[in-house]
Amino acid sequence: MIQRMLSQALVGLLLVSAAAYADEASVKAAFTAKFPKAKVESVHALPDLGLYEIVIPRGSEPLIIYTDENFRFMMQGSLVDTKTMTDLTEQTRNRLTAIDFDSLPLDRAIKKVKGDGSRKFAIFSDPDCPYCRRIEQELEKLDNVTIYVLLYPIEQLHPKAVEHAKAIWCSPNRVKAWDDYMLRGVTPTAKGDCPNPVADLVAYGARKGVNGTPTLVFADGTRVPGALNASQLETQLANAAKASGK
């Protein structure tokens, strides 16, 4: 008797699961019929909300939209759970754009340690990017962090950025040369003809879809583009520590 009840329950679960997948498939089909040139990465049911989440690949920043089961309405923007004030869209975006921190080429970074260095993050940074210089001012306000600066000059925007990045790397004291240039406007004097990782870092970032600077990667893999202020940086560091159970 018990075995028969368990079997019936299992069949019921399988039917519910199949129905959910069928609904997701029909939503995807409806979207594709309406936008045949768009590539759909995934369709995910949000049963508690009666919505479906559709992810469209778009460089390093995927497009996330929401629709109903009949694909009658479509919405783009942040979906927030007001009970917990959780940004569900941001959660999805973080999951899709995450970079395994340990896979980063940290051995080819300029390593800055402040305080006990217990908290860590990496930053793709262009020495001639004004937003990168702005975030350096905010980084000065942090303590007990290890910052890995990955030189990422975007030559199309800043023609001398590659030259400056190489000169900083080839300086006797890379950290000092970086801080002098970014915080004090002192141009590095090194020739920049030593073996350097600049080209490799640019190629790596391009493969990972890094298309702007600054772009930060935290210990939990979260990727955040833009010049965050000190308060926002502290929040991201706290979130990364929480995610890793520290």
> Which two three-digit tokens encode residue 67?
């629709």
> Which two three-digit tokens encode residue 146?
């290890």
Residue pair 150/104 in contact by the 8 Å Cβ criterion:
yes
Q: Which long-range contacts (CB under 8 A, 24 or more apart) does 182-190 make?
A: 182/127, 182/132, 182/133, 182/136, 183/133, 183/136, 183/137, 183/140, 188/164
β 223-225/215-218 pair status: antiparallel
Q: In angstroms, how far apart are the furthest CA atoms of the chain? A: 84
How many beta carbons lie within 10 A of that of residue 83, not counting itself?
6
Confidence at residue 246, expressed as pLDDT on a 0 to 100 scale: 59
> CA 12: distance to chain centroid?
39
H helices of the chain, in order, are: 2-34, 88-97, 130-139, 161-169, 174-184, 198-207, 230-243
CA dist., res. 201 & res. 213, Å (int): 13
> Length of the chain, please?
246
Tell me which of 3.90.110.10, 3.40.30.10, 3.40.50.300, 3.30.930.10 is the CATH number of domain 101-243.
3.40.30.10
- Nearest Cα neighbor of 60 from 158, 152, 172 is 152
Q: Which residues contact 61 (CB under 8 A, 6 or more apart)?
A: 93, 97, 225
Confidence at residue 18, expressed as pLDDT on a 0 to 100 scale: 40
Confidence at residue 60, expressed as pLDDT on a 0 to 100 scale: 64
Domain with CATH 3.40.30.10 in the chain: 101-243
Confidence at residue 8, expressed as pLDDT on a 0 to 100 scale: 43
Confidence at residue 10, expressed as pLDDT on a 0 to 100 scale: 34
CA dist., res. 227 & res. 215, Å (int): 8
Q: What is the pLDDT along the chain (246 residues), one digit of tens a residue?
A: 444 433 443 333 333 334 444 588 899 999 999 999 988 988 988 888 889 999 988 766 788 999 988 888 998 888 888 887 778 887 787 778 789 999 999 999 999 999 999 999 999 999 999 999 999 999 999 999 999 999 999 999 999 999 999 999 999 999 999 999 999 999 999 999 999 999 999 999 999 889 899 999 999 999 988 899 999 999 999 989 887 765
Residues facing residue 223 across a β-bridge: 217
- Nearest Cα neighbor of 40 from 23, 57, 64, 52 is 57
> Which two three-digit tokens encode residue 94?
């973080």
